[in-house]
């Protein structure tokens, strides 16, 4: 039989394929994660993430300007702090004179059009290495952590943050932070909730970058079980009710079904975090000559869009922006 219906007719030429393409990637979909360290003229590569660096503030500002010139309109910033700056209560997380807050202020002054997303959690500042306050018995204290997170979030807003991104996975933190920001006079500072953040093995290179591994135990009592997706919908409902402006799934590629589930239910934009382990795997495979790096990265990004993500946090952002600029 000769087929009457031929789907291949829509694949005949590049022009037709472009015409019928269901999803596309824009440079404005991308958020670049960055790491800041103390000192001057410091740029150190993360060994497990080739091409990703920790920057001292002077070089970080220049990097932010370069990203903005490439069309990237948002960054998310993480601090890599010396152990001497860490304590049980994560006191440094609210220090307006500290490295992180000075970085927010100076980046905003230098590149005012850049959207700065800040990480809210205790782990970069905690001597215990956990996202929440650790009791003497080793338990992660939820409600006691919320006060610390709220103080941290308000201090970041004062320093110039545009969007606060609580990554701690404590119950009730979105509502608590929203109330704290509003009461402090920051009703226009948004919240991007880490709604479905899983207890994943893919975070290893990130923890190397920040030296933020838990000193004892793991994060399974607050980060989600990788086996669960209905639980992510419950977390979504809670975050929306508490005032989240954007919701996020983390990690990315292994959790496309979760991205799809949230995108079908969410009334706000869905973000996905293409995490350090995913980045490292593609870099390693490309180094061995096992795949075409650019094609694999571009395919991964379109998979996120197809699954329903509007925003993609990815360490590939700068490379993608450069590739897009070349094509134009």
List the catalytic residues.
197, 250
Do residues 273 and 249 make contact, with C-beta atoms less than 8 angstroms apart? yes
Residue 42 to residue 36: CA distance in whole angstroms: 10
Do residues 74 and 29 make contact, with C-beta atoms less than 8 angstroms apart? no
Determine the length of the chain: 328
Do residues 190 and 216 make contact, with C-beta atoms less than 8 angstroms apart? no
Q: Is 140 helix (H, G, I), strand (E, B) or coil?
A: strand
Q: Which residues, other chains included, contact 279 with Cβ-Cβ below 8 Å and sequence gap of 6+?
A: 49, 52, 205, 314, 315, 316
H or E, element range at 144: helix 142-159
Read off the tokens for 285: 């495979």
Q: From the centroid of its chain, how far is CA 47?
A: 20
Residue 15 to residue 113: CA distance in whole angstroms: 35
Q: Which residues, other chains included, contact 23 with Cβ-Cβ below 8 Å and sequence gap of 6+?
A: 302, 305, 306
For residue 22, CA distances in Å to 17, 25, 287, 307, 312 come to 10, 11, 32, 11, 18
């Amino acid at each position: 039989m000769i087929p009457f219906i031929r789907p291949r007719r829509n694949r005949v030429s590049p022009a037709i394929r472009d015409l019928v393409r269901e999803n596309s990637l824009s440079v404005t979909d991308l958020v670049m994660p960055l790491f800041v360290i103390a000192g001057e003229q410091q740029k150190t590569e993360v060994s497990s993430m080739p091409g990703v660096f920790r920057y001292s503030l002077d070089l970080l500002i220049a990097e932010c300007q370069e990203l903005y010139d490439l069309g990237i309109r948002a960054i998310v910033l993480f601090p890599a702090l010396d152990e001497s700056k860490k304590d049980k209560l994560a006191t440094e997380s609210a220090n307006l004179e500290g490295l992180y807050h000075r970085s927010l202020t100076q980046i905003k002054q230098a590149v005012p059009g850049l959207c700065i997303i800040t990480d809210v959690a205790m782990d970069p500042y905690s001597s215990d290495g956990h996202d929440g306050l650790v009791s003497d018995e080793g338990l992660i204290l939820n409600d006691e952590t919320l006060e610390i997170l709220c103080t941290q979030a308000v201090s970041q807003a004062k320093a110039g943050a545009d969007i606060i991104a609580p990554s701690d996975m404590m119950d009730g933190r979105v509502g608590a932070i929203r109330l704290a920001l509003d009461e402090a006079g920051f009703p226009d500072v948004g919240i991007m909730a880490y709604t479905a953040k899983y207890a994943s093995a893919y975070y290893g290179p990130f923890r190397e970058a920040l030296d933020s591994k838990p000193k004892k135990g793991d994060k399974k009592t607050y980060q989600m079980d990788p086996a669960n997706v209905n639980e992510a919908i419950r977390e979504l409902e809670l975050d929306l009710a508490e005032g989240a402006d954007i919701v996020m799934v983390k990690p990315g590629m292994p959790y496309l079904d979760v991205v799809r589930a949230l995108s079908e239910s969410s009334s706000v934009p869905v973000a996905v975090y293409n995490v350090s382990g995913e980045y490292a795997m593609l870099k390693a495979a490309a180094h061995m000559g096992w795949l075409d790096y650019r094609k694999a990265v571009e395919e991964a990004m379109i998979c996120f869009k197809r699954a329903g993500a509007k925003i993609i946090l990815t360490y590939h952002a700068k490379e993608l922006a450069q590739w897009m600029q070349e094509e134009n």
